[in-house]
């Protein structure tokens, strides 16, 4: 999947799709679920490309299946340890100063959403991350991170922490407001999929709340 052209002066970033989860509530690999178009992992990858990523990689999950979809993948350094290990893996591998992370289960995420989050981080030089809010809750698995946050996360992980939200305690993460909540929603269970079983979202239709 070739990167899109990046606007001059914008922040260079590596796009990462986290695909190492167990998908226990879905009952099948969420990354490869089809909701009336490409599989969810490809939806996330396309949003990162369209948002201006210089490189897109999938961390964890079914590497042969991702290769068949034309996606570059990277083994999670900490398999079965949750998303924090995947974020650490991505930050270590990235050459760009910023890593934009997406979960693999977001049927409506798009390039403008990605670009807005990265732009918000670029506008706050002292922050280590930027993440959208739903209600008052930061969606930290739909977020841009500076690579400088890596030692903080590694230290928390080494101390036994596995929850990204707690590992980021004390770190400045810019809240990004005004984004379309439909673009931030995810799917966790089979019954969630019927809400997206058409090419375009139904105006005004209810959406499941994003999970952290």
77 SS3 class: coil
Predicted confidence at residue 187, as pLDDT, reads: 85
pLDDT at 16 (0 to 100):
97
How far apart (Å, rounded) are the C-alpha atoms in residues 108 and 50? 13
Please report where in the chains the tokens 């798009």 appear, as a residue: 110
Helix (H, G, I), strand (E, B) or coil at 146: strand
Q: Residue 133, exposed/middle/buried by CB under 10 A (0-12, 13-18, 19+)?
A: middle
Q: What are the average pLDDT values for consecutive 10-residue runs of the chain, which has 212 residues?
A: 56 94 58 86 97 97 95 94 95 96 94 97 96 90 97 97 95 96 85 59 42 44
Check residue 24 and give its pLDDT: 44
Query: Residues 58, 44, 156, 88: is their CA dihedral positive or negative?
Result: positive
Domains identified in the chain and CATH numbers: 14-196 (3.90.550.10)
Quick one: pLDDT at residue 33?
Answer: 87
Q: What is the pLDDT of residue 188?
A: 75
Q: How far is CA 75 from the centre of its chain?
A: 16
Quick one: pLDDT at residue 83? 94
Specify the pLDDT at position 29. 79
């Amino acid at each position: 999947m070739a990167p899109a052209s990046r606007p001059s002066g914008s922040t260079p970033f590596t796009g990462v799709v986290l695909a190492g989860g167990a998908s226990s509530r879905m009952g099948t690999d969420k990354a490869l679920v089809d909701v009336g178009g490409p599989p969810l992992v490809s939806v996330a990858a396309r949003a990162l490309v369209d948002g201006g990523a210089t490189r897109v990689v999938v961390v964890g999950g079914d590497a042969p299946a991702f290769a068949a979809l034309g996606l570059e993948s990277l083994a999670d350094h900490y398999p079965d340890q949750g998303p924090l290990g995947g974020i650490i893996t991505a930050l270590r591998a990235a050459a760009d100063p910023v890593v934009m992370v997406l979960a693999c289960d977001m049927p409506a995420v798009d390039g403008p959403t990605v670009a807005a989050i990265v732009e918000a981080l670029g506008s706050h030089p002292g922050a280590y991350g930027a993440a959208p809010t739903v209600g008052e809750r930061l969606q930290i698995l739909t977020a841009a991170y500076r690579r400088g946050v890596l030692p903080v996360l590694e230290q928390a992980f080494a101390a036994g922490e596995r929850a990204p939200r707690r590992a980021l305690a004390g770190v400045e993460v810019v809240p990004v407001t005004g984004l379309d909540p439909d673009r931030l929603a995810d799917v966790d269970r089979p019954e969630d999929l019927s809400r997206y079983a058409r090419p375009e979202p139904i105006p005004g239709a209810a959406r499941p709340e994003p999970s952290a």
